[in-house]
Amino acid sequence: MGEIKLMKGNEALAEAAIRAGMQAYFGYPITPQSEVIEYLAREEPKHNYVLLQAESEVAAVNMMYGAGGAGGRVLTTTSSPGFSLMQEGVSYMTCTEIPGVFANIVRGGPGLGTIQPSQGDYFQAVKGGGHGDYHVIVLVPNSVQEMADHVFLAFELADKYRIPALILSDGAIGQMMEKLELPDPVPYKPNKPWATTGKTKDRERNILTSLYIKSEDMEIKNIHLQKKFREIEANEVRFDEYKTEDAEVIITSYGLTSRVAKKAVDIGREQGIKLGLFRPITVWPFPKGRIAELASRDDIRFFISIEMSAGQMVEDIQLNVCGKKPVHFYGRMGGIVPTPQEILDTVQSHLKE
């Protein structure tokens, strides 16, 4: 049984990283996630990790590249404008196959935007974000407990597949306090024979590069990456369902809005509307298969995606429902969180259609 604590989401993430054997953190302060680097700075004397406040997010991600490539278990955290700056490095790490864990505690955008919570960075997270054909693993916690749990999972998956893993959260989950059970520390035993640790006599030199100047070589590299992405899609899809067994309406929602949507399901059912909630826990790989299964069920009338965006995940829902059912959307932008009543009102209006 782990230690029970009352913590902010950002602090839970930081403490979990220490317990998951993080060896280095590189980051640049940005609201609403600066608690992570502050927490790690306070705790640093008690532990053996590297903590470095970089001169920019661009530098931070490249420090991740260097330290992760040298075999370290590395973390950075940022918020939307900062994650945009990191995209160059994420693309390079994906091609070079350097593992590392990122957290984007999303705030409202575009531009400098607002420091309030948002889910407006879904496309950037799920569809690549930087240049080239790639994906990173994207976990979407909806509680302080999951902010901690997903750090362990993200490190494990990043190392297993030699890929960046992203925790895509938002300013509300990062800032709010909840009770959680902290996972017990796990000793990190690196097994990275590909890392640049110094060429010993018993092996060839290790070169970490994303440069394949011949088109044929670049295509081979891409085919290798795509094969890995398919393997991750086959093995690492995670999702959660609430009262979907007999539901007539499936609400799809992740992260903070899934908590609001769950409340809407309960209120709706008290009023006799058979609502159910489908919550992706990984948005890449996306739970395509399960969405397609639900779409084939005769008793389901429609899907509605609830997001703090102008409608981003809804496109992945539509792709996998594949025209079998109507797919609706309700969202708020700019840092506003939809209420259960707003969700219910929208569902009611579509039921009358």
Binding residues for other proteins, rule: CB under 8 A, are 23-24, 26, 50, 52, 54-56, 58-60, 62-72, 74, 88-89, 92, 96, 196-201, 205-211
Which pair of structure tokens corresponds to residue 312? 């981003």
255: left (phi over 0), alpha (psi -120 to 50) or beta: left
For 90-151, the three-class secondary structure string (H helix, E strand, C coil) is HHHHHHHCCCEEEEEEEECCCCCCCCCECCCCHHHHHCCCCCCCCCCEEECCCCHHHHHHHH
- Nearest distance, CB of residue 200 and other proteins, angstroms: 5
* Closest to 344 (Cα-Cα) out of 255, 275, 294: 275
Q: How far is the CB of 63 from other proteins (least distance, A)?
A: 4
User: Rounded distance, CA 202 to CA 190, Å?
Assistant: 18
Classify strands 239-242 and 275-280 as parallel, antiparallel or unpaired.
Answer: antiparallel
| Residue whose CB is less far from other proteins, 93 or 313 | 93
Residue closer to other proteins by CB (options 133, 266) is 133
Q: Using the minimum distance from each CB to other proteins, give the nearer residue, 201 or 352.
A: 201
How near is the Cβ of 18 to other proteins at its closest, in Å? 17
Least gap, CB of 98 to other proteins (angstroms): 9
Measured on CA atoms in the order 174, 178, 183, 184, is the torsion positive or negative? Answer: positive
239 by DSSP, 3-state: which? strand
Identify the bridge partners of residue 4 per DSSP, sorted by sequence position: 181
Tell me whether residue 42 or residue 199 sits nearer to other proteins (CB atom): 199
**Is the Cβ of residue 56 or residue 349 nearer to other proteins in the bound state?**
56
Nearer to other proteins, 32 or 68 (CB): 68
Kindly tell me which of 179 and 224 has the beta carbon lying closer to other proteins: 224
Number of Cβ within 10 Å of residue 299's Cβ equals: 9
Rounded CA gap, 294 and 239, in Å?
A: 13
C-beta of residue 260 within 8 angstroms of C-beta of residue 338: yes
DSSP 46: G
Is 50 exposed, middle or buried, given 0-12, 13-18 or 19+ CB atoms closer than 10 A?
middle
- Least distance from C-beta 196 to other proteins, angstroms? 4
d(CA 290, CA 303): 13
Query: What is the closest distance, in whole angstroms, from the C-beta atom of residue 66 to other proteins in the complex?
Result: 3
Least distance to other proteins, CB of residue 207, Å: 5
User: Could you tell me which residues are beta bridge partners of residue 308?
Assistant: none
Q: At closest approach, how far in Å is the CB of 55 from other proteins?
A: 4
Toward other proteins, which CB reaches closer, 55 or 345? 55
